[in-house]
Each structure stands twice: as C-alpha cells, then as structure tokens.
Amino acid sequence: MIAAIQPTTTWYLLLSAALFAIGVVGVMVRRNPLVLFMCIELMLNAVNLSFVAFAKKMGDVGGESTVFFVMVVAAAEVVVGLGIVVAILRHKPNATTDDLSELKG
C-alpha cells in the first residue's frame, strides 16, 4: 500500500516551503552569526528545491540550470560573510548579535 504512494511535485514544493519557513524563523530567533548564515543557506537551498521540482514537472532545463547560479551566489555570499565575521571576532571573541550594539536598533 505504501509503495503505491508516489511523491508528487506538490510534496517537494511543500517540503521546500517548510524548509524556507524554518530558515526565516531561524534568522529571526537565533543570535549566533554562524547559525544565521546557516539559516540563510537553508532558505536559498529550499528555493533550489522548488526550482528543481518545477523544472522536473515542466520538463524544462531552465529551472535546473538556475540552481547552479544560486549555488555560486550562495558560495560567494558565504565567503564574504565569513570574512566579516572573522574581522569582528578578532575584536570581540565569542560575539553574538546581541553583543554587537555599537549601533542602536
């Protein structure tokens, strides 16, 4: 009976929406800069999943090739982000976003 259930595109889309939501909540509630990066990565990869699901459904390579662009962009973002974090941690070891309070707001 279970074997008869085939995952459809909708399943993947729901999964990607759920992962995206986890990423959004993570960015809002977590305080460690590295965990924030991971949440943003999760959001981007959730979008990748939806791109692939749509591409598979429509039989179009456009969505699949987009994923590569997104992966390159995500990698470039992480390089820059980690560079900034390292620069900050040199001044203040173990900093969380709560400790970064030079700027109000």
Partner 1 sequence: MGALLAADTLQGPKVDWFALSPILILLGGAMVLLVVGALMPAWPKRCYALFTVAVAGAAAVMSFILWNRINHEGTKTLVGDAMWLDKPGVWIAITVCVGVILAALLTDDYLRREGIDGPELYALYLLAAIGAVVMGTANDLIVLFLGLEILSIALYVMAASHRKRAASQESGLKYFILGGFSSAFLLYGVSLVYGSTGSTNLGKILAASENVIVLDRSKETLLLAGIALLLVGLAFKVAAVPFHFWSPDVYEGAPTPVTAFMASVGKAAAFAAMLRVLLMALPTWAADYRPAIWLLAVLTLVGGSVMAVVQTNVKRMLAFSSISHAGYILVGVEAAAHDARAGLISTGVSSVLIYLLVYTVLVGGTFGVITAVGRTGDGATDLAGFRGLGRTKPALALGMTVLLLAQAGVPLTSGFVAKFGVIGDGVRTHSYALAIIAMVSAVIAAFLYLRIMISMWIADPEVGDDAREAVRVPVLLNVAITLSVGFTLAVGFFPDWLIHAAP
Question: Using CB under 8 A as the criterion, which residues of the chain lie in contact with partner 1 when the complex forms?
Answer: 13, 20, 23-24, 27, 33, 36-37, 40, 43-44, 46-47, 50-51, 53-54, 57-63, 66, 69-70, 73, 76-77, 80-81, 83-85, 87-88, 91-92, 97, 100, 102-105
Q: Tell me the C-alpha distance between 103 and 88, whole Å.
A: 14
Contact 26, 36 (CB under 8 A): yes
Residue pointed to by tokens 């980690």: 82
As measured in angstroms, the least distance from the Cβ of 4 to partner 1 is: 24
User: Rounded to the nearest whole angstrom, what is the least distance from the CB of residue 3 to partner 1 in the complex?
Assistant: 28
C-beta of 15 vs 85, nearer to partner 1:
85
Q: Smallest distance, Å, CB 49 to partner 1?
A: 9
Can you spell out the DSSP letters for 9-76?
A: HHHHHHHHHHHHHHHHHHHHH---HHHHHHHHHHHHHHHHHHHHHHHHHHT-HHHHHHHHHHHHHHHH
3 or 105: whose CB is closer to partner 1? 105
